[in-house]
Amino acid sequence: MTTNENADQPHHPPERPYMITVNSREEEVRAALVSFEEVVQLAYPGGHDSNVKFSMTYRHVASKPHAGELSAGGSVEVRHEGSTFNVTRTVQS
């Protein structure tokens, strides 16, 4: 007779990813809290010159306010589905 070694272990369902929309593309993030810098990397992957600046708006997030502007160093809590970000890139000369 065999025993189930995991019988005494509590079953935890796998953590459901958060699906957000960045510049009209659906993206997956693992944590509810996303930073300005993380969203910029989803919108414009890779490194950026110092003369490149980003601005960002968001809506339908779990944090209050549920819509607004996010600046560098900031973060918001997203919903599992429906949070939307628009990221604009500007090159300053």
Would you write out the chain's pLDDT as a tens digit for each of its 93 residues? 444 555 556 665 667 899 999 999 999 999 999 999 999 999 999 998 989 999 999 999 999 999 999 999 999 999 999 999 999 999 987
Phi, psi (5° rounding) for residue 89?
-110, 130
Structure tokens at 11: 């079953």
Q: Are 80 and 50 in contact (CB under 8 A)?
A: no
CATH code for position 42: 3.10.20
Whether 61 is covered by a domain: the verdict is: yes
Tens digits of residue pLDDT in 31-45: 999 999 999 999 999
Report the distance separating Cα 64 and Cα 67, nearest Å.
8
Does residue 34 form part of some domain? Answer: yes
- Report yes or no on 2 lying in a domain: no
State whether the Cα torsion 45-49-52-54 is positive or negative. positive
Residue 13 lies in a domain: no
Name the residue range of residue 71's domain: 18-91
Q: How many domains, the chain?
A: 1
Query: Is 3 a member of any domain?
Result: no
Does some domain include residue 6? no
Looking at the domain assignment, is residue 25 inside a domain?
yes
pTM of the entire predicted model: 0.82
